[in-house]
Structure 1
Amino acid sequence: MPRIRTLSAAAAVAAAGAVLTTTAVAPAANAAPSHGGGGLDQRVQAAADRLVADGAPGVMIMTRRGDRVSHINAGVSDKATGRPMDHRLLIRAASVTKSFTSTIMLQLAAERRLSLDDTVEKWLPGLVQGNKNDGSQITIRQVLAQSSGLNDYTPDPRIMTDPKREWKPAELVAIAVEKERLYEPGKGWNYSNTNYILAGMIIEKATHHRVGTEFKRRIFGPLKLRHTFYPTTSSAFPGPYVHGYYGELGDVSTAISTSSARTSGGIISTVDDLARFHRALFTGRMLPAREMRELKTVQPVNDDGTVEDYGLGVARIAFPCGDAWGHDGGFPGYRTWTYTSADGRSQAVITYNSSSLEYDKRFRADLTKAAETAFCS
């Protein structure tokens, strides 16, 4: 299941006890949980403990069954102090940001301020040209669906060797178009952060506002996401946070400017805020019916070994108990996976603070089991 979604700037940084908290709407938090909730918590706790035993410094798993929400914590949020994981702490949501960005683009389409059939060239003339890259052949729909054929800028050595640099969106796109396109737009699929940098630029052109303003006005505010933020260049957190670790580089929590992520992966949030957003999105509260159909029009993809169906900034993941919708994200030191049923009654959000476990076979297997337990049990 896991694959790398970590912004490669991380490589540049070189230049435990378990805690369980449960929040229940009904019955009261200290009462015996209904529908076997206590058993679920115990199984999820065991799954989180296994991930810590496999090497993750800390793990948080949020689950929802109807109105019952539980938070399972294992390990530490800060190795230096030994502070335990806590679901109230901030994390880097990384590429989960793409679902937020896509939602705004679809809202603008619903308002007829843009069309998904518009080309990149229409909104950003001259930006995507050269090496067989041609913005006049790429539609907004293809950008959101990751089928533009554009290369990803994040592996470029210039990103990796200058983590504190404040990158402008156009500079990131320019790095991507230095390479020849991977395929004719609409004729393939590849995961590229470049697409969502373009999406953010188009949002600003269409609204005449900063993307952060649109995030607040359209999503953060209406959904009361009080612990969700969109820093464009700062590497700091606006409150208490989970520390992220990257192998021998150690704590990289504040080592990298979010300017290399922006609308592809720059949001800071909590597990509860991410769950609240996804529940609202997938139950139809954020988009009209036509745009919901666009959001959920998927194609089967194999992303670095993970087989799923990818739509417009969201993915459909098959579980034995049924399908889940969501997106995952990785930023140096942080990894998050989100799962929400179409009716919003079942949810799981899994996050851990390490970027060194992606190809560990035991960890991968245990993460797959943890996701299935958290979403299906």
Structure 2
Amino acid sequence: MLRIVSTLIAGTALATVAAPAANAATTSHGEHGLDRKVKAAADRLVADGAPGVIVMTRRGGHVSHVTAGVSDQATGAPMDHRLLVRVGSVTKSFAATVVLQLAAEHRLSLDDTVEKWLPGVVRGNGNDGSKITVRQLLAQTSGLNEYVMDPRVLGDPDREWTPAELVAIAMEKPPAHAPGADWNYANTNYILAGMIIEKVTGRPVGTELRQRLFTPLRLRHTSYPTTSKTFPGPYVHGYYPGYGDVSTLISPSSARTSGGIVSTVDDVAKFNRALFTGRLLPARMMREMKTVRPVNDDGVIEDYGLGVARIKFSCGYAWGHDGGFPGYRTWSYTSTDGRRQAMLTYNTSAVEHDEKFRADLGKAADTAFCA
């Protein structure tokens, strides 16, 4: 879901330095059969306009990485799977997991209203937090509108936004539909989810993410910046049409729990594998997370649950979430037994609506997950 969009100002990004050590136990980068197929698919995406592409695949205990193109157009540095990227709305799976953990601990209920935890925050122009549940936030069925396309957000990428300010922008519009009546994707839902996490726990979201997920899973290259535009390590440079390298120009404060995490393909894969094999949530909460409805998300047909989606491939179903941040796009897919995975990321926002690219992207994802 390419939902974090900004009008940008030109600037100079930080130079890429040596990459950190690999994080996978059994890894190959050779010309095996699957690697060759995935490499051909990645090369097509670069030919279609992506500066660089990373594809990680898992088959049982074997992990492989294929790259194509460059991570930095200014220097010509090749793409490297160990580099950091902004994973955008993949963050929603992390945030939903924390909320469901809190529900499992009986510290909140998915049937609690937003008003119970955030009194007066969702109010005005027909918006009513007393009629919206926590479950509806996570499922994108609250009816609340989006904030990211507002000119105040679009026109000031450097500004440090508070969650309350972002929600207030969405409250200026009437709801898209009654709570639970339909589905519409809005980052507002997950900004509110983050606010509820902080209200329930009394601690910053970043602390909860770190202590509940990042540290236990040893996601050593995953972080949750709220205001810092820089990266905590070597990174892939992201490009936005008309503005060039926008890697360090946008405050992640406009994304937060809707799309603010910085990570690597291996760390995202490790999190997804733990999540979908039942290591992070009890069975009843996994059933809640995997209760889905069919949706059409900007042309992507999938079944959406609570912060995760089910996607049909030629070989069966995968679970995950996609995410976009200006200059970055990530797609994550994991089988329910964790034995099959595919992670794809590329570093431009210029190809999102290109029909050939999208067709080739679909083929690349199927190849990476199924071949």
Sort the TM-score into its range (normalised by shorter chain).
Answer: over 0.9
Shift of 1:29: 5.1
Match of 2:362 among 360, 368, 372: 368
Task: Give the % identical residues.
Answer: 70
Contact 2:92 2:190 in 1 (8 A): yes
Within 5 Å, which residues of 2 pair with 1:75-154? 75-154=69-148
Shift of 1:6: 3.8
Matched residues in 1 for 2:4 and 2:207: separation? 24
Shift of 1:61: 0.2
Shift of 1:326: 0.1
Matched residues in 2 for 1:258 and 1:121: separation? 26
Shift of 1:306: 1.1
Match of 1:318 among 289, 312, 318: 312
SS of 1:62's equivalent?
strand
Contact 1:23 1:70 in 2 (8 A): no
Question: Which amino acid is 2:183 matched to?
Answer: W
Cα gap change, 1:14/1:150 in structure 2, threshold over 3 Å: closer, same or farther?
farther
Show CA shifts across 1:262-317 (max 9, x none).
00000000000000000000000000000000000000111111110000000000
User: 1:5 is matched with which residue?
Assistant: 2
Matched residues in 1 for 2:191 and 2:359: separation? 32
Q: Does 1:190 align with 2:184?
A: yes
SS of 1:236's equivalent?
coil
Shift of 1:247: 1.4
Q: Does 1:232 align with 2:229?
A: no
User: 1:162 is matched with which residue?
Assistant: 156
Show CA shifts across 1:101-139 (max 9, x none).
000000000000000000000000000001110000000
Question: Which amino acid is 1:186 matched to?
Answer: G
Match of 1:253 among 247, 254, 261: 247
Question: Which amino acid is 2:40 matched to?
Answer: A
Matched residues in 2 for 1:23 and 1:130: separation? 48
Aligned residues: 362
User: 2:343 is matched with which residue?
Assistant: 349
Matched residues in 1 for 2:132 and 2:288: separation? 17
Shift of 1:140: 0.0
Runs of 4+ off more than 6 Å: none
SS of 1:196's equivalent?
helix
SS of 1:117's equivalent?
coil
Question: Which amino acid is 1:246 matched to?
Answer: Y
Contact 2:229 2:251 in 1 (8 A): yes
Show CA shifts across 1:67-111 (max 9, x none).
010000000000011110101100001100000000000000000
Matched residues in 1 for 2:76 and 2:10: separation? 24
Contact 1:24 1:67 in 2 (8 A): no
Question: Which amino acid is 1:158 matched to?
Answer: R
Contact 1:150 1:192 in 2 (8 A): yes
Contact 2:53 2:345 in 1 (8 A): yes
Matched residues in 2 for 1:195 and 1:13: separation? 28
Matched residues in 1 for 2:251 and 2:23: separation? 34
User: 1:45 is matched with which residue?
Assistant: 39
Shift of 1:12: 3.1
Matched residues in 2 for 1:24 and 1:245: separation? 28
Match of 2:257 among 251, 263, 269: 263
SS of 1:101's equivalent?
helix
Match of 1:59 among 47, 53, 61: 53
Match of 1:358 among 329, 342, 352: 352
Contact 1:6 1:355 in 2 (8 A): no
Question: Which amino acid is 2:9 matched to?
Answer: V
SS of 2:270's equivalent?
helix
Matched residues in 2 for 1:169 and 1:23: separation? 33
TM-score when scaled to structure 2?
0.95
Match of 1:213 among 199, 207, 214: 207
Q: Does 1:297 align with 2:280?
A: no
Matched residues in 2 for 1:361 and 1:197: separation? 31
Runs of 5+ consecutive residues of structure 2 not aligned to the other structure: 12-21
TM-score when scaled to structure 1?
0.94
Matched residues in 2 for 1:84 and 1:58: separation? 8
Matched residues in 2 for 1:366 and 1:212: separation? 36
Matched residues in 2 for 1:195 and 1:139: separation? 10
Match of 2:169 among 147, 152, 175: 175
Question: Which amino acid is 1:13 matched to?
Answer: I
Cα gap change, 1:114/1:23 in structure 2, threshold over 3 Å: closer, same or farther?
closer
User: 2:17 is matched with which residue?
Assistant: none
RMSD: 1.7
Contact 2:8 2:249 in 1 (8 A): no
Matched residues in 2 for 1:299 and 1:106: separation? 18
Question: Which amino acid is 1:111 matched to?
Answer: E
Matched residues in 2 for 1:297 and 1:210: separation? 28
User: 2:19 is matched with which residue?
Assistant: none
